[in-house]
Structure 1
Amino acid sequence: MTDVWQSVMDHAVAVARRAGDVVRAALRDERTVMTKTSSVDLVTQTDQKVEKLIIQSVKEKFPTHRFIGEESVAAGEACDLTDSPTWIIDPIDGTTNFVHAFPFVAVSIGFSVNKQMEFGVVYSCLEDKMFTARRGKGAFCNGSPLQVSAQEDIKQSIIATEFGSSRDPEAVDHIFSSLRSILCIPVHGVRGAGTAAINMCLVASGCVEAYYEIGIHVWDVAAGSLIVSEAGGVLMDVDGGVVDLMSRRIIAANNRNVAERIIKEISSFSPARDDPWKLTD
């Protein structure tokens, strides 16, 4: 049976590599930094340049496809996921890392049809690692198959999370209360790459057992979610239900036992869905 989306995925991989060239070139030059919602919610001209490059390239080849892009939404475009073929783009996942030349910066491209992820591409630019997944066909890094960790005991696990861009004291208290609960299980350690996409790829690679975060956006996790599931992992909402990529809440884990233990530890600190720990947009 013909895979009708393979040529689309091939284009995504190619344009992600081109975007990576732009990112690496920008790191050699002075980076112009701007802010969005707060002094720690950063955006650069390179974010905007990369998103424009990807969207223009796709429009030329697939003119009927739709887009959800981080910088486009920041500029006022709607963030609506429909049944139409849709590219979900984070041009630079890890902008703060990029600004500081911290070596985890990713171009993340997810592709959805009928609100279902068909493929995900995450290019870790500075590591030159291309993570890919196609629905039902597995996950890979530079062509080698990925498999989540077989660890069943959360006490023998590393957990990844991030701290968001809000410095509101109440939001910070929520974050550190949940983090304290996770550490006191106890787990082997807590890590964070500074990019949701790479954190999820670390789960898929078996390097960490789980990643959780509240306050992320669909462009942060669309590609990585499929990479995790195709590597044998599980995706859940922080309340234990089915994950909704538009909800700004996710747990990606190597297995359900680890995911459910994280849910147990952080559930008392999880707010209503419409108030994701007061994290900024």
Structure 2
Amino acid sequence: MLLWAVLVGLSFPAVGLMSELPPLQLTALRFAIACGGLWWLAHRSPSFVPALRVVPLYGAMGLCLAGFFGAMFWAAHHATAVSMSTLFVTVPLLSYGLGLGFGVEPLAWRLPGILLLGAAGALGLAVAESLEQGGGLRFGIGEGVFFLGCVSTALYPVLSKWGLVTGRLPDSAAVRTFWSLGLGGLLIGLLGLVLEPVGPLATMRWQDLLLLVYLGVFSTALTFWLLQRATAVLSPGAVTAYGYLVPFVSMLLLFIQAPSRIGWAWLPGSLLVLAAMALLMRRGAD
């Protein structure tokens, strides 16, 4: 999950480098590339072909992913990378609350406390960014769309855990990832053909194509395979809590690109995020 956090943190700046293209169609292409990368691993499993009763669950999981990535592509040109990665840290708290509703999270105080600590650190990073830019915290249309995407992705590990606990989903993480991405990509692709013009895709630059391949293989196939493996042994809230490292990674990239922007305002949020991660890993070791 530490590797997962690094890969997700790197994806936000990468998406921001892409041209403004139809987000739903881009998401479908990204999922198709991810499925191509997962095929060699998934098709060897004896549980590769899903039962008909599992298809609706895979479809719901795929829509969760499609909703998040569609929102991410659209919001990339209406919100900053740091603000998007900061909003992303609401996912653990959302997953914990949804997990309680599905009966896959225990009602306890320690994990919610760690999640709140990490959320406070993420808010501190958001305040530091607003001070550095000379403006107050803002919640515009870009942030609103991306937050809905965060709610969507928070539901994904909850449905995965529920499917595993109830015996509906197979043990293979590659199979679960392949079919959720495949069905989600198909559904979001059909929606994109209805709602978006196809013509703009013809203007895609070769740089956009390279970024899309990178996002499909590393930031989609690999990250969700890692998440599915972790979901088998951790609760949804604990799995998504590693998202607290995402804004920290984006902040480090910002400092590498512009060292002059380093200031003391970034320290409180960074320390709270690191403290939350230390407590989370200690909790996992107990």
What TM-score does the superposition give when structure 2 sets the normalisation length?
0.31
Instruction: Looking at secondary structure, tell me which structure has more helix per residue.
Output: 2
Instruction: Looking at secondary structure, tell me which structure has more strand per residue.
Output: 1
What TM-score does the superposition give when structure 1 sets the normalisation length?
0.31
